[in-house]
Structure 1
Amino acid sequence: MSMKAIVQSAPGGVGTLTLSTIERPIPQEGQLLIRVHAAGVNRADIVQREGHYPAPPGASAIMGLEVAGEVVEVRGPSAFKVGDAVFGLVPGGGYAEYAVLDSALAIAKPERLSWVEAASLPEAWMTAWFNLVEIGHLAEGERALIHAGASGVGAAAIQLARMLGASVLASAGSADKMAFCSRLGAEHVYNWRDLEHFAPMVRQWGGADLVLDPVGGSYLAENIACMNPDGRLIFIGVMGGAQASLNLAQVLVKRLSLRGSTLRPQPLAVKARLASALAQHVLPAQAAGRVQMTVDAVYPLSEVAEAHLHMESNRNLGKIMLHVE
């Protein structure tokens, strides 16, 4: 059977993306086939479109890492049945009318959430939980520096850090983004465009025990300089370059940990643990009003090029989403 999906003719710009009719994916044992109603757009999709972030072996080459929709087929034992409303993280294939979702990663969609709201949660919140909780061990009373705080992951990380009892300093690139970060719970927000060197300001605030950084090379020296003893620096991107010199003396004296982190290639068991954390901790917090939804813009699937350009413009406050008719 066929479906509509966004396919790519070759690596490159948004002009390489087209809405085409292709064959539906076939779920394997332990998987669900989902009729997709909404899918998230992530920075990783841009990098994949440009040819620098290929899909893992065995995953769909179609972009899209998170979906929400209705179960139409179940293969193997599962907590879900045909007709159930679910959302979850996928290794690819989200920009389509149908997608395959591992049953272990599927989360029941609460009625209070729209399809778009549900689909906006997995990538950002599972990334935030993986890096702040499992890797970063962020503790109550510590200070977290969240770069690009108005991004999808940044917005989730600010809120999660506050849930964990940490204080948050966030960076953003405009007055609107600064106000957005403050509304999410960041006690201190600075405009990175106004600061050539942010380390002195962070040290004046008390220093950072954990830094979550999607920028990379151009921020390395300042990150190292602003961190407290036993601080943890976690790289989740290299938007500011992949090369930098490192002052090992500071790393040694302050006993710093530097860690690179990507969610997509993690084993299924790790992702299942993160999905469980989202269901057991984030959804109840959202229901109680302690977590805000952060959907910035919604585009129909046919306007995926405009959604990518919106992300590349760095204007978004939170998540950019696709609605699948």
Structure 2
Amino acid sequence: MSATSLPDTMRVVVAAGAGGPEVLTTTQRALPRPDEGEALVRVIAAGVNRADLMQRAGSYPGTAAVADLGLEASGVVVAVGAGVADDLLGREVCALLPGGGYAEYVAVRAAHLAPVPAGVSAVDAAGLMEAAATVWSNLYMHHKPEPGSWLLVHGGASGIGTTAVQIASALGVRVATTVGSPDKAGFVEALGAELVIDHRRQDFAEVLLARSIRPAVVLDIVGAAYLERNLRVLDRGGRLVVIGHQSGATAPMDLEPLLKNNLTVTGSGLRMRPDHEKDQIIADLVRHVWPLYESRAIVPTTHAVLPLERASEAHVLLEQSRHRGKVLLLADLPPTTESPR
């Protein structure tokens, strides 16, 4: 059932093949139709994530470079498939996607939608889902860090980093983080980080140990180059959570610290989780994290909003780490806003 008359085609960003940002181009494609249990969302904006860059380059595990890009979006529900209540029509939503967000419309499992938090713009909402779901599922769903304990977040100025810093700080956890420049340091300090380490000028392990800070949890996007130091700084009973491997996926591991200090090393990806797990993560976000946005305890961190046709520029921003927070692609203006930013 449709709330409005829909076009037959839409704009979509595709990759001509594995390669650099230049392989991205905008084309026309037939409008998707929602299957049973799905909703069709008219996209307002889409989030750009580092996983998109890996997919475009042909290095995302199990995903072809030419598959549709875009793991999150915001928009308005314009049609629903069988089994989905009509009262979803016309609602502004955030969507967690397996792909396809770089488009004017996307069909998505209805359980993977969440309302836009009150007080958050429909454009900024495009950058909430992927980071919040990653942070919450890895830090809070099963093993919550205790208030007053330390969390070390690598890449604190990234989309995931800014979200982790804010959620943990809002819930009483002391946060240390690494960044790559002085301006990023000031940015994450304003978000609640208590200790900020410039990894280009300082060794994070030396700084932490000199201050007798031993994190209960390390959230790591760097991978191989940081493995030994991450294990060295963890508190007894601590947990290393690996959610990325920008420096490489393979490194030797000394098992002695794990045995001596009762450490745990875990890793997870969001995209490859089964649907029922994503259902629970999104329900948890609405219950526990969305109220933090609505109370302004945490805020969106949109760095740049570019038109859909400039997706290649958005990828360059991320590849060069020139962003602080989220980079978004604008597919359409929200109905109540004249200009997104």
Unaligned runs of 5+ in 2: 1-7, 333-341
1:256 aligns with 2:259: no
What's the % identity of the aligned pairs? 40
Partner of 1:127: 134
Partner of 1:72: 78
C-alpha distance 110-248 of structure 1, shift in aligned 2 (>3 A): closer
Q: Distance in 2 between matches of 1:298 and 1:283?
A: 22
Q: Distance in 2 between matches of 1:110 and 1:144?
A: 26
1:254-280, Cα deviation, whole Å (9 max, x unpaired): 011001110001111211122122222
* Contact 1:32–1:102 under 8 Å retained in 2: yes
1:143 aligns with 2:171: no
Q: Distance in 2 between matches of 1:187 and 1:308?
A: 30
SS at match of 1:228: coil
Task: Supply the RMSD in Å over aligned alpha carbons.
Answer: 1.6
1:109-130, Cα deviation, whole Å (9 max, x unpaired): 2463222111110001111101
* Contact 1:145–1:170 under 8 Å retained in 2: yes
1:182 aligns with 2:181: no
Q: Distance in 2 between matches of 1:136 and 1:117?
A: 29
**Shift of residue 55, structure 1, vs aligned partner:** 6.6
Q: Distance in 2 between matches of 1:207 and 1:22?
A: 52
Question: 1:172-251 residue pairs with structure 2 within 5 A?
Answer: 172-195=179-202, 197-203=203-209, 204-251=211-258
* Contact 2:118–2:294 under 8 Å retained in 1: no
Question: 1:1-325 residue pairs with structure 2 within 5 A?
Answer: 1-53=8-60, 61-79=67-85, 80-110=87-117, 112-195=119-202, 197-203=203-209, 204-325=211-332
**Shift of residue 283, structure 1, vs aligned partner:** 2.0
Q: Distance in 2 between matches of 1:164 and 1:110?
A: 18
**Shift of residue 81, structure 1, vs aligned partner:** 2.7
Instruction: State TM-score, norm by structure 1.
Output: 0.95
C-alpha distance 271-49 of structure 1, shift in aligned 2 (>3 A): same
Equivalent AA in structure 2 for residue 120 of structure 1 = G
SS at match of 1:119: helix
Equivalent AA in structure 2 for residue 62 of structure 1 = D
Equivalent AA in structure 2 for residue 268 of structure 1 = D
Q: Distance in 1 between matches of 2:263 and 2:61?
A: 31
Equivalent AA in structure 2 for residue 99 of structure 1 = V
SS at match of 2:287: helix
Instruction: State TM-score, norm by structure 2.
Output: 0.91
Q: Distance in 2 between matches of 1:198 and 1:81?
A: 47
**Shift of residue 9, structure 1, vs aligned partner:** 1.1
**Shift of residue 37, structure 1, vs aligned partner:** 0.8
Work out the number of aligned pairs and report it.
Answer: 322
SS at match of 1:265: coil
Unaligned runs of 5+ in 1: none
Q: Distance in 2 between matches of 1:105 and 1:178?
A: 34
Equivalent AA in structure 2 for residue 147 of structure 1 = H
SS at match of 1:206: coil
* Contact 2:221–2:245 under 8 Å retained in 1: yes
Q: Distance in 2 between matches of 1:126 and 1:109?
A: 14
Q: Distance in 2 between matches of 1:208 and 1:188?
A: 12
Is 92-101 or 275-284 further displaced after alignment? Answer: 275-284
Q: Distance in 2 between matches of 1:221 and 1:108?
A: 41
Q: Distance in 2 between matches of 1:135 and 1:192?
A: 30
Equivalent AA in structure 2 for residue 23 of structure 1 = A
